[in-house]
Amino acid sequence: MNTKKYISLIQNFKPDKTTQEKLSNIIQSINSLTNKKKLNLVFICAHNSRRSQFSEIWGNILSAYHKKNINVLSAGIIKTEIYFQVIESLKRIGFKITQNKNSYLLQHLNINMNLYSKILSDIKINDFISIMTCSEAEAACPIDLRSKLNLKLLYKDPKIYDNTKNEQKKYDSTCLKIAYELNYIFKNIN
């Protein structure tokens, strides 16, 4: 698959009723706090290595695609690394990604993202909305006092499939689910 076909696929996503309610609540919450200035979203997951990274990447791509003034970042409480299967999953879609010393560079159209694992103290903005992505959010994901709003958009960790025959399939399905849901959110944010 190539990125153009993949983005076309996610544009046609129609959530089921339960998912639509969940996503609509997130959209309403974000829209209640936004005005015409730049919106900052920080996707948070304990290790900032899988789900929050997928979210940051898709958030930036979809923000540009939908012409939104949204700054998208991700962070955790433990600095690790971006798991290589996240990078491989994105490459299978057709993204061009090169490895630097301690990070990856993703290039897509006019978007250049330097991808690396971050902790909350690495985030230097003081006005943002947090979106927790850990399915175990209550126990592991931090809350940052700088956040104006803490939302939950939870995903199962594909890490449980590491080193299994389903590893590639589960990472790809996690990537697609995040892309579907973030596209729905980003096209409906004011």
The answer to whether position 163 is within a domain reads yes
CB 68 within 8 A of CB 41: no
Tokens standing for residue 45: 């997951």
Say whether pLDDT at 140 is over 70: no
Main-chain dihedrals φ then ψ at residue 2, nearest 5 degrees: -115, 165
The answer to whether position 6 is within a domain reads no
Half-sphere exposure of 164 (CA within 13 A, CB side): 10
The answer to whether position 66 is within a domain reads yes
- CA-to-CA separations, 84 to 69, 91, 104, 110, in angstroms, rounded: 30, 11, 10, 24
Distance CA 98, CA 91 (A): 10
Q: How much is the mean pLDDT over the chain?
A: 91
Q: How confident is the model at residue 141 (pLDDT cuts 50, 70, 90)?
A: low
The answer to whether position 27 is within a domain reads no
Q: How confident is the model at residue 9 (pLDDT cuts 50, 70, 90)?
A: very high
Amino acid present at 119 = I
What percent of the chain is predicted at pLDDT more than 70?
95
CATH number at residue 67: 3.40.50.2300
The answer to whether position 20 is within a domain reads no
Kindly state the DSSP code that residue 119 receives in the 8-state scheme.
Answer: B
pLDDT digits (tens, 9 = 90+) for 157-183: 999 999 999 999 999 999 999 999 999
Average of pLDDT values for 56-85? 93
The answer to whether position 3 is within a domain reads no
Question: How many C-beta atoms surround the C-beta of residue 17 within 10 A?
Answer: 7
Q: How confident is the model at residue 138 (pLDDT cuts 50, 70, 90)?
A: low
Range of the domain at 86: 38-183
Average of pLDDT values for 183-188? 96
Tokens standing for residue 50: 């899988």
Average of pLDDT values for 60-79? 93
How many folded domains does the chain comprise?
1
The answer to whether position 28 is within a domain reads no
Average of pLDDT values for 107-118? 90
The answer to whether position 49 is within a domain reads yes
